[in-house]
Amino acid sequence: MEQLGFDGMPQRLYPCTPSRLNTWLDCPRRYRMTYLDRPAPPKGPPWAHNSFGASVHNALAGWWRLPLEERTPETAGRLLERGWLTEGYRDAAQSAAQRERAREMIERYAARLDPADEPVGVERTVATRTDRIAVSGRIDRLDERGPELVVVDYKTGRHVLTADDARGSLAMALYALAAARVLRRPCHRVELHHLPSGEIAVWEHTDESLARHLGRAEQIAAEAAAADEAYKTRLKPAYRPDQIDHRPFDGVFPPRTGSLCGWCDHRRHCPEGQEAAPQKEPWAAMPAD
């Protein structure tokens, strides 16, 4: 999709998701490996915390799709067990222990829900565009509270979230904007539902705060789009999965190193990341048995 710029020349919209924008912010080199290099560098082993989170998200999505009379806490637990993902765990014993923890967690959460309070959307894809970006994403749950919509995001990590996390989330703000434009309903409230603790972090955006997030997204997109264009036209990469030379790219896609390098899927292909942090075990983010 193209829009006319101020100079009369066609201006191509930058297609993106919140994840793509955040990846550029976190580490331009990881952005390049994830979204531009083809074939993409092989990733490391799957992470247990990703399997855990996906299992919970899938079970909750399936729960809302059941007939009303079947939406019980026990059914949520059964859906969790039936769709349990085992990748990334240390062994079968750890997987089983975390499955039991997840079952108890999801049943406790489902017991607090009103099964008759039908969401507007579950795993709902929304999208919107400005004269610079075309952004899309998938919302875990979209609720209806009076005249307004509410964006709900499930979280399963160990870190207990706060209102500041909800306020500062670029993804949640973009979801709220996109949901409002797609469904033509106001949407300002965003909620992070932390299932392990049962806490809900809430933020009520204003039109102004949502506009600031959108402006920030456009700024990030402008940087990433310029880097994309340089990759395609000036750098002319000759990528070989078995022999990566980062030198031609580092002026545009520098590594941004730190402790999070130990969790990076592309760490094995990044010498600076290997120096910055030791490799984490695939199950390192899971709580002790």
Q: What is the pLDDT of residues 58-115, one digit of tens each?
A: 999 999 999 999 999 999 999 999 999 999 999 999 999 999 999 999 999 999 999 9
Higher-scoring residue by pLDDT: 267, 6: 267
- Sorted by where each starts, the structural domains of the chain and their CATH numbers stand as 48-111 (no CATH), 121-212 (3.90.320.10)
Long-range CB pairs of 262-270, under 8 A, 24+ apart, other chains included: 263/47, 264/27, 264/30, 264/44, 265/30, 265/34, 265/43, 265/44, 266/29, 266/30, 266/33, 266/34, 266/41, 266/43, 266/44, 267/44, 268/42, 268/44, 269/33, 269/41, 269/244, 270/29, 270/30, 270/246
Residue 251, pLDDT score: 86
Residue 3, pLDDT score: 41
> CB–CB of 212/191 below 8 Å?
no
Q: How far apart are CA 256 and CA 273, in angstroms?
A: 8
Question: pLDDT tier at 244 (50, 70, 90 boundaries)?
Answer: low
Residue 170, pLDDT score: 98
Residue 245, pLDDT score: 64
Lowest mean pLDDT among 175-179, 191-195, 247-251: 247-251
Which is nearest to 227 in space by CA: 208, 193, 205, 252?
252
Residue 10, pLDDT score: 55
Residue 7, pLDDT score: 46
Residue 246, pLDDT score: 65
Residue 232 has pLDDT above 90, yes or no: no
Q: How far apart are CA 246 and CA 228, in angstroms?
A: 15
3 state SS of 207: helix
Mean pLDDT of 9-19: 84
Mean pLDDT score of the chain, rounded to an integer? 92
Mean pLDDT of 193-213: 98
Residue 30 has pLDDT above 90, yes or no: yes
Polymer length of the chain? 289
> CB–CB of 142/182 below 8 Å?
no
Which is nearest to 223 in space by CA: 28, 17, 35?
28
Which is nearest to 44 in space by CA: 285, 281, 268, 276?
268
Lowest mean pLDDT among 20-29, 138-147, 167-176, 249-258: 249-258
